[in-house]
Chains A and B, each alone.
Chain A
Amino acid sequence: MKELRYLDNVATLVLDEEKCIGCSLCTEVCPHAVFEMKQNRASIVDLNACMECGACVNNCPSGAISVSPGVG
């Protein structure tokens, strides 16, 4: 998806790295490789690729991720 990018600086994705328990599920469910594991903790590496689908939020066992899109 490198050739297809949508608007920058709009995604409402927030990761609280303090809360992350390092399960790496977010890296598995994200369809746009927004997360990467760095030193056993998730880290946002491509925020602008986020489409706010909520898969990571739904599966994060420690509630470390949030996303709050409007109505679209």
Chain B
Amino acid sequence: MDKTKGCGQDGHLSHQGLKLSTSGVNIMASMEGRDPSCSSLVKDALADHEKPGFKLCSYVERFSETHAGPIPIIKSGLGKDDLFSTFHVRWGIHRLNYTVAPGLYGIGNPGRTSEVLVTANFKLTFDHLRKALPHTSAWILVLDTKGINVWCAAGKGTFSTRELVKRIEDCSLEKIVDHKRVIVPQLGATGVSAVDVKKQSGFRVVYGPIRARDIPAFFKNNRRADQKMRQVSFTLYERFILTPVEIKNALKPACITSLVLFVVSGLGPGGFSFSGAWERGLLSVLALATGIFSGGFVTPVLLPYIPFREFAAKGIITGSVFAILLMVAVSPAINGMAGSGALFLFSLVISSYLAMNFTGTTPFTSPSGVEKEMKRFIPVQVAALAVSTGLWICSAFK
């Protein structure tokens, strides 16, 4: 039965009620309208693998015949499509649908002694891996992590012992390689138990390096990762590349907050004034935007250079700097200390909150630490927000 489904395609096929005959051809399930990276261009060499209702993915170079049926061999280089969608995904657009079909793939000229690299079915992860293997021949076993990267999926339990054992069986891995070894990325260890995988599948888990780019060196070094390969980093670029999603995720709540700000800004001596709502509303939205820029972009990027361990405190430091700049910029438009104080505090609170929010994105914050930080800083943020609102309304009565 496994053979009629095609390795790793069971989910797609059974849902669609399709019955593939005995060919056992392993073709990507069509992701039309979901995965922009799948191109409809099918080269002659691939023509035999066309199936009604399916579309070959642009990253498939050819198919390799094995004892477990044909396996798609993927390209190492990324195409224009891949890079274009990477840009989109970094901004959080279509992020959760950015997947590849789980199952077995190959890269280079994999054979019976080639290593088996396990990975997640988030296409950004998949692209990262194949890009790192331009001169390597290996099998790539993609687990169904619902389009989530290895580490997060391991934490959530989709990159798991169970899923790995199931994929090994579904793909008939024992018919494809002569050894009994799979290389699991180290960060997958949060979800995988090497002992249990061995017990349940017979395959031994070797933990590979954290970063895909270290894989060639890991192979050269007899499948041993050195200390540097085993430790996570959080470099300036790694922090920077995560900020678009931070900003994008802040936008929706920011729009709702802006509406509230316009309403609150309209309150004044004459009840509600539309001109007040507009003029003072714009000023408060500017303070909001300053806070988002400071807490969602500047604080993450400059993280190690800002004093204090608590992210919320870092956000206050950065927030102060930008709030002062804001004050200088808009001071002619604000009358009195109360209004200035209100905007200053508001901008600070937003910056502090978003900086604290970034703890969930970093690779070094412990849940216990985050809990401690939140218990300490959320009351401070709420109090500051209340004072800021009070001052802002008061300032309208002058």
Binding site for B on A (CB under 8 A): 1, 3-8, 10-12, 25, 28-33, 49-56, 58-59, 61, 69-72
Contact = CB atoms under 8 A, between A and B. Distances in A.
B286 interface: no
Given A25-B194, A58-B193, A61-B195, A6 B230 contact: no
A37 to B, nearest CB: 13
Contact of A58 (B191, B227, B367): B191
7 contacts: A6-B364, A7-B366, A29-B207, A51-B366, A52-B368, A59-B194, A59-B195
A72 B371 contact: yes
A71 B371 contact: yes
Given A52-B366, A58-B191, A70-B368, A7 B186 contact: no
B186 A49 contact: no
B366 A69 contact: yes
A10 B372 contact: yes
A30 B366 CA distance: 13
The bracket for how many chain B residues form the interface is: 35 or more
Contacts of A31: 186-187, 210, 230-232, 363
A6 B372 CA distance: 11
B189 interface: yes
Contacts of A71: 367, 371
A69 B368 CA distance: 5
B56 interface: no
B369 A7 contact: yes
Interface in B349-388: 359-360, 362-373
Given A5-B309, A55-B190, A58-B189, A28 B364 contact: no
Contact of B366 (A4, A10, A25): A10
A23 to B, nearest CB: 9
Contacts of A7: 309-310, 366, 369, 372-373
B201 to A, nearest CB: 16
A5 to B, nearest CB: 7
Given A25-B194, A28-B186, A29-B189, A12 B230 contact: no
Interface of B: 151, 154-155, 186-187, 189-195, 207, 210, 225, 227, 230-234, 303-304, 309-310, 359-360, 362-373
Contacts of A59: 189, 192-195
Contacts, number: 101
Which secondary structure dominates chain A's binding surface? Answer: loop
Given A25-B194, A31-B363, 12 more contacts: A1-B233, A6-B309, A7-B310, A11-B366, A12-B368, A31-B186, A56-B189, A58-B189, A69-B367, A70-B368, A71-B367, A72-B367
Nearest to A5: B309
B192 A10 contact: no
A62 to B, nearest CB: 10
Contacts of B360: 72
B318 to A, nearest CB: 16
A67 to B, nearest CB: 9
Closest 4 A-B residue pairs measured CB to CB? A72-B367, A69-B367, A55-B189, A29-B189
A1 B234 contact: yes
Interface centre among A3, A5, A55, A56 (most CB of B within 10 A): A55
B155 A53 contact: yes
A28 B230 contact: yes
A46 B68 CA distance: 46
Contacts of B365: 6, 51
Contacts of A29: 186, 189, 207
A4 B190 contact: no
Interface centre among A4, A8, A54, A69 (most CB of B within 10 A): A4
Contacts of B310: 7
A59 to B, nearest CB: 5
Nearest to A31: B232
A9 B306 CA distance: 21
